[in-house]
Amino acid sequence: MTDEHTTTESFPEIEITKEMEASFIDYAMSVIVSRALPDVRDGLKPVQRRIIYSMFENNINPTSAHRKCSKVV
Amino acid sequence: MTATRDSYKAKDITVLEGLEAVRRRPGMYIGTTGPRGLHHLIWEVVDNSVDEAMAGHCSKIKVTLREDGGVEVIDDGRGIPVDRHAKTKKSALTTVLTTLHAGGKFEQGAYSVSGGLHGVGVSVVNALSMRLEAEVRRDGYLYSQEFKDGRPKSKDPKRLQAVKKSGTTIRFWPSTETFTDTTEFDYEIVASRLRETAFLNRGLEITLLDDRGEEPRSDIFHYKGGLVDFVNHLNANRDPLHAHIIDISDQSDDAELEVALQWTTSYTESVLSFANNINTHEGGTHEEGFRKALTKSINEFARKKNLLKEKDNNLTGEDVREGLTAIISVRVKDPQFEGQTKTKLGNTEIRSYVEKALNRLLPEWLEKYSPEARQIVEKCINASKAREAARKARELTRRKSGLESGGLPDKLADCSSRDPAESEIFIVEGKSAAGPAKAARNSETQAILPIRGKILNVEKARLAKALQNNEVQDIITAMGTGIGDDFDISKARYHKVVLLADADVDGAHIRTLLMTLLFRHMRPLIEYGYVYVAQPPLYRVKVGSSVYYLKDEEELDEFRKDHPKVKPTRFKGLGEMNAGELWDTTMNPETRTLLRVEMADTVLAEEVFQKLMGDDVPSRKLFIQQNADDVRFLDI
């Protein structure tokens, strides 16, 4: 069903359901493992922990001067 | 080849040429030599058995995927005749297996209806198998004949022991010369198709057995409810809007009609049509008749019950079909198939037959189940309101901008060629990747369309809402084909739609979203093989002065065996590559690998999209739990 007159390139086929399932499981598992679930130790999601940590590194704490959040991000 | 030909008698040469033609250009007979074509071999053999079932002579079919890579199909039909055929002077069995366009379905008599779509039959399977064994149980004896590369090993079938029951057994081993990609059959694809066949042939029992794995798998498909069971199966992951499935059947002298339909609370339309058990992807006259009758019946009912007021506009076909799951199955004596993939029913008399029958029977149902019918109409009216609102909103934004060009999206960097056959469009994730892609491309044939972030999941959104989404709009206008009912493949501006997302998990997600859009609203693009997945590399490694690109972990592991000390750089996104790298690895037709997206079975695809992208969370959760181990890479 290919266009014979375009190129002589050959195209391995991939079944749509396989591609969907494979791509989906990659995404879903990654989200579950490293994005969506809070850690039981501190109750933070990885993104939140990254922010808190970088604030800590930059010496931003309740006693320090006021900072805008864009500084942190 | 000439040397072997000499050993044949003159009259055999045409036969050999027939099968030779199949071997030389398999695509003409089975579509592709990839997985889809490979599975076609099974369908071809099973369809023969199903034809026996339709004629009322067969009630059980057993399909076995053998450990040695072959397939066995057993039925309890009448058995292919083995007596001498008057024209070819050979046994009928040999004729059927070695001659194109041979079979009992061309003259009426032996079969009144059959799935004679292919018309080339089991001989094609023989031609494309390195080995084929046929066993026939007929007239009290077992006959057997073997073939190698399409040629019979013995002139006639051998008569073996006496047997009581009749039937046919075909065993074949696909030729590795033809099917160079793979000769491995996929259990899910085979199961889905056989299930479908069992739904369409009420009462027929089909057993599927897989002997290949460590633990044998098997399924028995046997449905007493026929199409009603089919609709139930399709709606398993959706919420039905009403309890009773509409079940209508009708017969005339030349045709039979069966329809089952049910609306769900989802927004997607799943109408599947079949003619003589063949899934007519491209629709055709039976589907047209169905649509017309459905729209008319619903509108009339709505008017009669005053659900639509006098001043209201009629509901459109799209309004009526929102959330509809329907199966239309017709049996036609002399089916004519049209369209590029020969899956569009062309018999014009069927349109009016289906329309008339449904115009009579649908209103009867609606009256009988009036409360449910009201729910259906209310849903349709909601759809209509949403569509109307979306249209107004769209017009408003257009008028605001003051320059409605009707032209191509601003973001599209089009190619200069006007020949769709050589044009390609790369749908690229994000602006950062679009930069190098634009710089790298061959601007004559390659167009770039950047999309921002993640596009809308159209599986969960109403069409009207999907159309309001800018990214969705851009993709549709760039393709030029329109969508849904207005889709016109001949207007496609590109014959290659290449999905080019980052090699990370968000890229994978974007790919699934894009494919959902294409599957739901521009499905012919997939059916015509216009959709491709690009494979950008994941790693770059430098060894001395030379640079290598590796597309996944597997290649990296392989590479490390030879170069244990290398330090690979991981590409986090396409944006990190420079134009030259992107061109060399993913875009240059000389060096890239594009994967063509194939759809072996619409019903299976339908289920997968519903499961992965739809509203039903439990089934998705189950899928993730069951498949968590198959994850290719985790992004941590």
B430 at the A interface (CB within 8 A)? Answer: no
Q: How far apart are CA B442 and CA B412, in angstroms?
A: 15
Strand partners, B224: none
CB B181 within 8 A of CB A10: no
Output the pLDDT for position A33. Answer: 85
Structure confidence by residue, pLDDT tens digits, B547-589: 888 877 777 888 888 877 777 888 877 878 888 888 988 899 9
Output the pLDDT for position B497. Answer: 96
Q: Do A11 and B340 touch (CB under 8 A)?
A: no
Q: In A, what residues contact B, Cβ < 8 A?
A: 1-3, 5-7, 9, 11-34
Q: Would you state the structure tokens that stand for residue B418, as one six-digit string?
A: 């006007």
Output the pLDDT for position B260. Answer: 96
Q: Do B595 and A30 touch (CB under 8 A)?
A: no
Q: Write phi, then psi, for B130 (nearest 5 degrees).
A: -75, -25
Structure confidence by residue, pLDDT tens digits, B13-72: 555 567 888 888 887 788 778 888 899 899 989 988 998 888 888 999 999 999 999 999
Q: For chain B, what is the radius of gyration of the CA atoms? A: 27
Supply the residues of B annotated as catalytic: 429, 502, 504, 506
Structure confidence by residue, pLDDT tens digits, B148-169: 988 888 888 888 988 889 999 9
Residue with tokens 């016109």: B488
Q: How far apart, in Å, do the first and last CA atoms of chain A sit?
A: 50
- Residues in contact with B24: Cβ distance below 8 Å, sequence separation at least 6, in sequence order: none
| Residue B134 confidence (pLDDT) above 80 | yes
B612 at the A interface (CB within 8 A)? Answer: yes
Q: Do A19 and B595 touch (CB under 8 A)?
A: yes
CB B554 within 8 A of CB A55: no
* Residue B402 binned pLDDT confidence (cut-offs 50, 70, 90): very low
CA distances from B549 to B445, B459, B571, B582, B592 (A): 25, 36, 10, 10, 11
Structure confidence by residue, pLDDT tens digits, B185-211: 999 999 999 999 999 999 999 999 999
Q: How many angstroms away from the CA of A50 is the closest CA of chain B?
A: 13
| Residue B9 confidence (pLDDT) above 80 | no
- Residues in contact with B551: Cβ distance below 8 Å, sequence separation at least 6, in sequence order: B503, B535, B536, B537, B538
Q: If you average pLDDT over residues B83-87, what whole number do you get? A: 77
| Among candidate residues B348, B351, B325, the one with its CA nearest the CA of residue B270 | B325
Q: Do A20 and B612 touch (CB under 8 A)?
A: yes
| Residue B305 confidence (pLDDT) above 70 | yes
| Residue B5 confidence (pLDDT) above 50 | no
Supply the angle between the helices B187-200 and B35-54 in degrees, to the nearest 10. 30
| Among candidate residues A71, A46, A49, the one with its CA nearest the CA of residue A60 | A71
B634 at the A interface (CB within 8 A)? Answer: yes
* pLDDT digits (tens), chain A, 73 positions: 444 444 467 888 888 999 999 999 989 998 888 888 888 888 898 888 988 898 888 888 888 888 887 777 7
Q: Would you state the structure tokens that stand for residue B76, as one six-digit string?
A: 């309890």
| Residue B364 confidence (pLDDT) above 90 | yes
Percent of residues, chain B, with pLDDT higher than 90: 44
Structure confidence by residue, pLDDT tens digits, B502-527: 888 888 999 999 999 999 989 999 98
Q: How far apart are CA A24 and CA B512, in angstroms?
A: 7
CB B33 within 8 A of CB B179: yes
CB B452 within 8 A of CB B510: no
| Residue B464 confidence (pLDDT) above 80 | no
User: How many C-beta atoms surround the C-beta of residue A38 within 10 A?
Assistant: 12
